[in-house]
Amino acid sequence: MFFRKLALTLAVTTALSASALACTTVVVGEGATADGSFLVARAADSSALKAQHFVIHPAKKNQSGMYRTKDHDGATNFEYPLPKESMRYTTVPNWKTQLHGAVGFNEAGVGISGTESIFARDDALKLDPYNEETGITEDDIHDVVLPRAKTAREGIEILGSIVETIGAGEGFGVVFVDQKEVWYFETGTGHQWMAHRTPKDTYFASGNQGRLQQYDAKSADFMASKTLVSWAEKNGFYDPKKDGEFNFSKAYCRDDARDRVYNDPRVWQIQKLFNPSLEQKPDEGRTYPVYLKPEKKLTVDDMKTMLRNHYEGTDHDPYSPVLNGNEPWRPISVFRTYESHVMHVRPWLPKEIGEVAYVGIGMADLSCYVPYYHGLESYPAHYGMGTDKADSKSIYWKYRKLQTLVMTDYQKLAPVVKAAYKTFEADTAKAQADMEKKYMEVVKKDPKAASKLLNEFNLKVMNDAEALTEDLTNQVFTIRTTDIQAANFFANNKRKD
């Protein structure tokens, strides 16, 4: 198949830093979805041992002092004043630090998904390096922005100001969404950044690359650092006479052999899924459109399918017919994904049911996407448990242990798990529609009763998904026990014992 000839570039990928391992992101404008909603999907990939916790941060009043990353053993010495009045917000953070919140909404309805690890060009970073000592990183963004941002634009302004004044501790892309619009934010160098409102009828896809290009300082659909263009021009990364219109990606972002097998194929695959008639070469990522109008309107299920993709049906599938850790194309769904999610924002509904995060714990291909509504008031205690060592209580390890067992014979066991979760998700979607209809009928007369209805439903779905996962684990153990016994029976000739 085309691209096998590039297998030699695998040697380049060994030079990737640890942060380069992470994430795939898709953002969908409201005109490109089947129901007129906003959709955001992202897979967070680092380590299978990175247990995630579900946290609801309560609103706080009369705060003073500083938010300090090091207080939580975070990545840098970043610090920032606490807001006097902090809004309630949700995150799904790392077990060890309770930072890097991954996905969440605040009480104003602002949602953030972050981050997508991206990389500036090396020569530009020599002049404006990341502030690895005190700069902001993915550890901090949710806990700094969500307590205070009342709109997506305000969230971008807050993060952008921090990057300009304190600096970014690493390269990242972040999604901001509210009831009116959805934006994608990318860093350039240590103090340069750009954000673009996703055009209504299009979607955007990224796989560890700076992907934004066009910038129009006069348009309300763009935001950026004050010296974005002038800095690039001053330092020789943009020449208006030779280059024509300013191109953010070309001026600031890395584009070399490291992108060819690790990043380009994922974006190529996403665009092929949503635009099947599109013909592109899998190793020419910088020529791909930044935004595309999908050939059919997109849904939550389309986002789940995309996050579970691993080039199945092609000879680049690393899981079939046998596990192949040397496959040159890095798939969207990898075993070391610790969580992935789909954010579904329907502005015409009350935020309590109109904003939903579907979270799949662990490897997306072998996980169940469970809905977590904005109006959910609490999580069970074991949703806040789990470390880097397997246990029998935490919700994270209940999913992860099943996935680990399935990977010992993916060909035989994966279909069992995937079929069960597919049925569960379909049944849950129907139950959600019924619940939401009842909620709308009740909330007008009795908001407390509506909230009770929502919370009882959401907790039941969570419990049912967990029970199914435990049942599947037992099913798979039974299958593996039978297979191993058959292969290692050592019976005597008469099978008397």
325-341 as b/e: b if 16+ CB within 10 A: eebbbbbbbbbebbbbb
Active site residue 23: yes
Write out the H or E segment, with its range, that includes residue 74: none
Distance CA 64, CA 258 (A): 44
Amino acid at 82: L
From the list 9, 19, 23, 145, the catalytic residue is 23
CA distances to 100, 243, 413, 460 from 141, rounded to whole Å, are 7, 34, 38, 31
β-sheet bridge partners, residue 67: 80
Distance CA 263, CA 286 (A): 11
CA 435-439-444 angle, 5° bins? 165
Strands 66-68 and 79-81: antiparallel
DSSP label at 415? H
3-state DSSP of 108-176: CCCEEEEEEECCECHHHHHHCCCCCCCCECCCCHHHHHCCCCCCHHHHHHHHHHHHHHCCECCCEEEEE
CA dihedral in degrees (428, 431, 437, 442; nearest 10)?
A: -110
Show which residues are catalytic. 23
